[in-house]
Structures are given as structure tokens and as C-alpha cells.
């Protein structure tokens, strides 16, 4: 019964959100007004700006941005006199008082706006961690849950000619029912962590589109163009000059036009990451994009890109900035991390453990890196709680909606290291169904755990193996149990006619700390573990790729060992200061052979 209920929730959630919320596909190609820059902020650990002393919501909270009008007025806050912070950006690395802080922070931005006749205006956020409420000029615009997915509110009727202000109540408290849940191995960066902008559109506009190769087909382009309104008979146009495509269509009663057009595009690949100029017009709206075409599939124990067998030479990456730490806020920071991946010889990156910045996905595509994209269904989620499933489903939808035109994304992942149970199986099965119902052109996977071992043999057995395309698992032999030498004799039992992918392995090492290969935390230990692990998996039939953990050292409150970790997970191949460790070159040499 619970499995059926979750399935119904998944379908209803997709249906309802598809019609109630704007997708704003390719938002950076639209007419926008940036709200990035300096914002005032108020730290509010007791949520006094939202609740009264009886814990009831206030009618005149901080969102009203009140000012004392007379000497006798009692107003116990003042955004204009409070501190400022750069947005996008997390609060943890911009205010020393907030390094470990989890709770509410209020943000305010003043801006001027000139209304334009016949236009709608959306207030767009790339991400806010974790929940937020948004007001414009003291009027509620909306709320959102989930720290890594974009959202937008129609504020056309709230904006004023001239001076305006937007206030955001952001809260990053961890809760058992959240996605991710209470316990995770990365820093809980709070705040408005990605771009904020006003997006201007016509009253009826192109909200969404899809342009891709059909599954298993290389001589046709298919997809749809969808308006924000169920308006029939609207003329829309698709142009791909590089393919000689210039076609017009009329929308149906749902405001959508579907197409399938014969064409033979040059195929995108890591060696030749070619992207076509695409122009979509209709209802007075025009969007320009750069889209690549490729086919990804499996055949037996092989992964095929454009019909040819390929080994996924990967690395895992967190959405944490190089050199300065904190959340990534620019395309330049993405390019630094991905440049290190290319230097390793990678053709693939696992963007863990949540949807990354859109700049990261687009930059990877331009640089010829295939992408694994994942939602934060991580460790011990409340699998028996329907609202938790609704939340995970919504995050999955938002991730897929934003990046469905990015040919570099070849794997959708629905989970990482989740404990086995009937409730977990139902939860993940329905997320897998959601992926299948909405996209059959990419691979589906999840990072599983190894079941255990006996007689020196590891087993990979999981209920979800029947639903995924590639058997992916994390394994830390030599770090969390055993020694690097154990890799030389360990055997593997993977009873599936599918390729297997090692989504994580690794060891911690403090850059610059040297010693015997048997001494933990040294670069030599990490390098030895990499060498032996890669040799171990390379002996196993069906080994189709790996994304070791991880490219760069990153902050984590779980990692407390003084003088070694100092609140950094030290499994990176590159230090947080950008210095490469010995294991970097071990992996690079291995990839040269594949």
C-alpha cells in the first residue's frame, strides 16, 4: 500500500508542478536584471522576525522592513543599519560569527525597477539553502524548500515603479525529514548561494523546450516547445542553422508543439564537444541556446557513447570553491575545478551529492566532460515519510527540468549510500520510475553500498539493481576496514549483466605530509591505496568506470582531527589551496591506459 501511495504522489507532484510553477528554461538567455551584489542581513537565531513570543507567525515581521517614523516608535530591527554580505554567497565564510551557524538569517536588497507594458516579471533564485520565504515590498511572493535547485515567483503585480525591496528569510537548520537529512558529510553552507535576478518575459512566453536525439537514433532531432499558458494556435519556430533546420509549428490546446525532424548532427563527445546554435521563437519571445547531440546506452556489461564502448574516466566533485572555500559562485571557479579534472585525463565528472550550479553543468559540457547529476537522497533519509518523498521528487523534477537539454548529463542518480529496507526500496523505486517516465535518453543509477564479504569476496546485491542501468557502488577497502594490500587478493561477486561503476573509493591524506605507504594521512598511503584499488577493479569483468572520492579537499564538520583534518575531508587529490597530491598522478597515469 505504501509503495502505491508513493507512486501516486510522484505522478501527481510532477503533474501539478508542471502547470503551477514556471520552468524558465535557459534562464541565462532571457532578459534579466541582476540582483546580485551587496545585501543587508540580520542574524535571527530565535526567528524573532517571523514568530512572536508565543511562537505564532507575526503579521508585521521583519519582512515589512519597517522604519521608526517618530522618536516614540518601537521597531527592534533596522536592515539599513545592519551589516552587508555579498550575494550570491554563503554566510559561513563571509562572517566569522556564522562559521558553524545553523538557523535563520534575513536578507534585504533595495533596487529600482521601471515597469514595462505587456511584460511579466519573475524573481528567480538559483538556490537558497535550505528553506526560504520571500517578500517583495512587504508582500509575500512565495516559499521554497531544497538547498540546491532553482525556483522563481511571479512578482509582476507586486513590483512598484521606482524603488522596491526584496526580503528573504533563509534557514539552513537540519531536520530528520529534510532532503538531505540530519547527517551528511559536507558543510551546511547557508544563505542565498546562487544568482538572484528579475526575469522579464512577454505575457505569453516560451517557458520550456527540449531538443535532443531520440533514444538510439542518430538521424533525427525531436522534442517540444511549450508556452507558459495553454494557448492553442500560437506559431512557434525552431532554427538550428548548422543542421539546416528552420521549421514552424502551431501549439495545441496545452500550449505545446512537438516535433521530430530528420537530421544528421555531428555527435558530441569528450574528444569533440560540438554544440549547435539553437534558436526558439514564438509569442514574441526568443531564446538562444547551444545544444549538443549524443546517444548514451548500455549493452551487456559495456557503456556505449554514440554506439562505441567507452570507459568513464571520472572524478567526484563537490560544489565548493577552490582556494577560498564556500559555495561556488562563478563560472571561473567551475572552470578551475573542471580544468583539474581534464588534467587528470577525465572524460566524466560525478557532481555529488546534489544538483550543482548551472554554470558547472554548462562548463563541463563545453569542456567535453560527461556528467553524473544527483539529488541529496543521502544516507538515512526518512523513507517512510510521504512529505520527504514529495520533497525528493520535487528536487529530482527541478534538476531534470533545468538540465534536460545538456547533452553532457548522461547519468541521473537518485541516491547515495542508503540503508536497505522495504520503505527505502519503495521510495527509490518510485524515484526511478519518475526518471524513466520523463527521460529515456540517459542512464539511471545510484551510489549503492557493498553488501559485505565472506571468504575474501565482496558482494554487490541491491533491490535497486533491477531498475538502474549501471551498477554503481562506493567502496573504501583500505580506509574504512582492511589495508591497501588487501586489494591485491580481494575478489568480487557482481551478479548482473550490466556494467559496474565504482562511484567512490579513496583515502585521506594531508597534502605535504609524507611517510611510509603504511602510514595513514600521508600522501604515500593515499597513492598506494589508489594504485592497488585501481588494479583490483581493473581485473573484474564489467568494470566500466570510476569517480574516486574526491577531486579537492572540502569542508566537513564530521572531520575534526586537529592538525590533519581541521574540519576538512582530506580525501581530495588536490588540497583546498590547489596543490596536487601524489595520488593525483597515480590516477592520471591509470587513465592514460584506458
| 191-232 pLDDT, tens digit each | 999 999 999 999 999 999 999 999 999 999 999 999 999 999
pLDDT confidence of residue 12:
35
Q: What average pLDDT does the chain have?
A: 95
Q: Let me know: does 348 contact 387? Beta carbons within 8 Å.
A: no
Q: DSSP readout, 87-130?
A: ESS-STTT-GGGSS--SEEEEEEEEEE---TTEEEEEEES-EES
Q: Let me know: does 507 contact 472? Beta carbons within 8 Å.
A: no
Question: In terms of domains, do 90 and 59 share one?
Answer: yes
Residues 218 and 206: their CA atoms lie apart, in Å, by 27
Cell numbers linked to 246: 528552420
Q: Let me know: does 573 contact 552? Beta carbons within 8 Å.
A: yes
Q: How confident is the model at residue 8 (pLDDT cuts 50, 70, 90)?
A: very low
- The helix (H) or strand (E) run that includes residue 343 is helix 331-344
Question: In terms of domains, do 324 and 262 share one?
Answer: no
| Packed helices 386-403 and 422-438: angle between N→C axes, nearest 10 degrees | 30
- Percent of the residues in the chain that have a pLDDT greater than 70, as a whole number: 96
Q: Over the Cα atoms of the chain, what is R_g?
A: 25
Is 156 a member of any domain?
Answer: yes
Of residues 405, 306, 408, 410, the one with CA closest to residue 365? 408
State the CATH number of the domain containing residue 230. Answer: 2.60.40.10
Instruction: Give the range of the structural domain holding residue 275, as residue numbers without chain letter.
Output: 206-296
Q: Which residues contact 55 (CB under 8 A, 6 or more apart)?
A: none
Question: In terms of domains, do 433 and 509 share one?
Answer: yes
Q: How many residues does the chain have?
A: 594
Is 52 a member of any domain?
Answer: yes
Residues 191 and 397: their CA atoms lie apart, in Å, by 22
Is 16 a member of any domain?
Answer: no
Question: In terms of domains, do 266 and 396 share one?
Answer: no
Is 3 a member of any domain?
Answer: no
Side by side, the strands of the sheet bearing 235-240 are 245-250, 235-240, 276-282, 285-291
Question: In terms of domains, do 269 and 223 share one?
Answer: yes
Q: How far is CA 140 from the centre of its chain?
A: 27
Last residue in a domain, options 201, 220, 248:
201
Last residue in a domain, options 153, 168, 201:
201
Residues 125 and 344: their CA atoms lie apart, in Å, by 33
- The helix (H) or strand (E) run that includes residue 410 is strand 409-416
Residues 124 and 387: their CA atoms lie apart, in Å, by 24
- Ranges of H-type helices in 21-105: none
6 pLDDT exceeds 50?
no
Mean pLDDT of 298-324: 98
Residues 181 and 35: their CA atoms lie apart, in Å, by 30
Mean pLDDT of 23-42: 98
471 pLDDT exceeds 60?
yes
Of residues 518, 530, 534, 505, the one with CA closest to residue 580? 530
Of residues 121, 201, 128, the one with CA closest to residue 154? 121
Question: In terms of domains, do 321 and 245 share one?
Answer: no
- The helix (H) or strand (E) run that includes residue 282 is strand 276-282
Q: How confident is the model at residue 432 (pLDDT cuts 50, 70, 90)?
A: very high
Question: In terms of domains, do 480 and 511 share one?
Answer: yes
State the CATH number of the domain containing residue 374. Answer: 3.20.20.80
Last residue in a domain, options 244, 262, 296:
296
DSSP state of 327: B
Question: In terms of domains, do 92 and 221 share one?
Answer: no
Q: How confident is the model at residue 116 (pLDDT cuts 50, 70, 90)?
A: confident
144-169 tens-digit pLDDT: 999 999 999 999 999 999 999 999 99
Q: Let me know: does 262 contact 219? Beta carbons within 8 Å.
A: yes
Q: How confident is the model at residue 21 (pLDDT cuts 50, 70, 90)?
A: confident
* Burial class of residue 95 (count of CB atoms within 10 Å of its CB; 0-12, 13-18, 19+): middle
Residues 284 and 435: their CA atoms lie apart, in Å, by 32
pTM more than 0.85: yes
Question: In terms of domains, do 104 and 50 share one?
Answer: yes
Mean pLDDT of 72-85: 95
236-274 tens-digit pLDDT: 999 999 999 999 999 999 999 999 999 999 999 999 999
| Packed helices 582-592 and 523-538: angle between N→C axes, nearest 10 degrees | 20
- Which sign does the torsion angle of CA 126, 128, 133, 135 carry? negative
Total structural domains within the chain? 3
Is 15 a member of any domain?
Answer: no
Q: End-to-end alpha-carbon separation of the chain, Å?
A: 47
Question: In terms of domains, do 426 and 527 share one?
Answer: yes
Q: Which residues of 2-14 are buried (b: 16+ CB within 10 A; e: fewer)?
A: eeeebbebbeebb
Report long-range pairs for 47-56 (Cβ below 8 Å, ≥24 apart). Answer: 47/103, 47/104, 47/171, 48/76, 49/77, 49/104, 49/106, 49/169, 50/104, 50/133, 50/169
Question: In terms of domains, do 382 and 449 share one?
Answer: yes
State the CATH number of the domain containing residue 123. Answer: 2.60.120.260
435-455 tens-digit pLDDT: 999 999 999 999 999 876 677
Question: In terms of domains, do 348 and 481 share one?
Answer: yes
Q: How far is CA 586 from the centre of its chain?
A: 28
Amino acid at each position: 500500500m505504501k509503495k502505491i501511495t508513493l507512486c501516486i504522489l510522484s505522478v501527481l507532484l510532477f503533474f501539478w508542478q508542471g502547470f503551477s510553477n514556471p520552468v524558465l528554461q535557459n534562464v541565462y538567455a532571457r532578459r534579466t536584471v541582476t540582483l546580485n551584489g551587496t545585501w543587508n542581513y540580520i542574524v535571527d537565531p530565535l526567528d524573532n522576525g517571523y514568530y512572536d513570543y508565543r511562537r505564532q507567525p507575526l503579521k508585521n515581521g521583519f519582512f515589512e522592513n519597517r522604519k521608526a517614523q517618530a522618536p516614540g516608535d518601537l521597531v527592534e530591527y533596522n536592515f539599513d543599519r545592519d551589516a552587508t554580505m555579498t550575494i550570491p554567497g554563503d554566510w559561513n565564510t563571509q562572517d566569522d560569527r556564522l562559521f558553524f551557524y545553523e538557523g535563520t538569517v534575513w536578507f534585504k536588497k533595495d533596487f529600482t525597477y521601471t515597469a514595462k507594458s505587456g511584460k511579466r516579471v519573475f524573481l528567480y533564485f538559483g538556490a537558497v539553502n535550505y528553506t526560504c520565504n520571500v517578500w517583495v515590498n512587504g508582500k509575500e511572493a512565495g516559499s521554497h524548500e531544497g538547498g540546491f535547485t532553482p525556483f522563481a515567483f511571479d512578482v509582476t503585480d507586486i513590483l512598484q515603479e521606482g524603488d522596491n525591496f526584496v526580503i528573504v528569510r533563509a534557514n539552513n537548520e537540519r531536520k530528520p525529514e529534510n532532503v538531505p537529512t540530519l547527517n551528511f558529510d559536507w558543510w551546511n553552507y547557508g544563505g542565498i548561494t546562487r544568482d538572484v535576478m528579475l526575469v522579464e518575459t512577454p505575457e505569453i512566453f516560451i517557458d520550456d523546450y527540449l531538443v535532443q536525439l531520440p533514444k538510439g537514433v542518430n538521424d533525427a532531432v525531436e522534442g517540444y516547445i511549450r508556452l507558459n499558458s495553454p494557448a492553442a494556435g500560437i506559431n512557434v519556430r525552431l532554427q538550428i542553422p548548422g543542421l539546416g533546420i528552420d521549421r514552424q509549428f502551431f501549439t495545441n490546446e496545452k500550449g505545446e508543439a512537438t516535433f521530430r525532424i530528420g537530421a544528421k548532427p555531428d555527435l558530441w563527445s569528450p574528444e569533440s564537444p560540438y554544440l549547435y546554435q539553437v534558436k526558439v521563437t514564438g509569442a514574441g519571445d526568443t531564446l538562444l541556446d547551444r545544444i549538443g547531440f549524443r546517444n548514451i546506452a548500455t549493452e551487456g556489461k559495456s557503456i556505449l557513447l554514440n554506439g562505441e564502448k567507452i570507459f568513464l574516466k571520472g572524478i567526484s566533485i563537490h560544489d565548493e570553491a577552490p582556494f577560498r572555500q564556500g559555495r561556488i559562485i562563478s563560472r571561473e571557479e567551475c572552470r578551475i575545478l573542471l580544468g583539474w579534472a581534464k588534467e587528470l585525463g577525465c572524460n566524466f565528472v560525478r557532481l555529488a551529492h546534489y544538483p550543482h550550479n548551472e554554470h558547472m553543468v554548462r562548463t563541463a559540457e563545453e569542456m567535453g566532460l560527461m556528467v553524473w547529476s544527483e539529488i541529496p537522497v543521502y544516507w538515512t533519509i526518512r523513507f517512510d515519510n510521504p512529505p520527504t518523498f514529495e520533497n525528493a521528487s520535487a528536487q529530482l523534477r527541478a534538476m531534470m527540468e533545468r538540465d534536460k537539454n545538456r547533452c553532457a548529463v548522461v547519468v541521473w542518480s537518485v541516491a547515495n549510500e542508503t540503508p536497505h529496507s522495504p520503505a527505502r526500496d519503495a521510495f527509490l523505486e518510485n524515484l526511478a520510475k519518475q526518471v524513466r517516465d520523463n527521460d529515456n535518453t540517459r542512464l539511471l543509477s545510484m551510489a549503492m553500498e557493498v553488501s559485505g564479504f565472506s571468504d575474501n569476496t565482496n558482494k554487490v546485491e541491491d533491490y535497486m539493481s533491477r531498475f538502474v542501468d549501471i551498477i554503481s557502488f562506493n567502496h573504501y577497502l583500505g580506509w574504512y576496514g582492511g589495508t591497501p594490500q588487501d586489494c591485491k587478493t580481494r575478489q568480487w561477486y557482481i551478479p548482473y549483466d550490466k556494467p559496474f561503476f565504482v562511484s567512490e573509493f579513496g583515502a585521506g591524506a594531508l597534502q605535504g605530509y609524507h611517510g611510509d605507504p603504511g602510514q595513514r594521512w600521508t600522501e604515500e598511503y593515499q597513492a598506494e591505496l589508489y594504485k592497488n584499488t585501481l588494479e583490483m577493479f581493473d581485473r573484474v569483468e564489467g568494470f566500466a568506470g570510476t569517480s574516486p572520492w574526491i577531486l579537492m579537499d572540502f569542508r566537513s564538520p564530521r572531520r575534526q582531527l586537529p592538525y590533519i583534518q581541521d574540519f576538512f575531508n582530506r580525501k581530495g587529490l588536490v588540497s583546498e589551496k590547489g596543490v596536487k597530491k601524489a595520488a593525483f598522478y597515480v590516477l592520471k597515469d591509470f587513465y592514460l591506459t584506458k
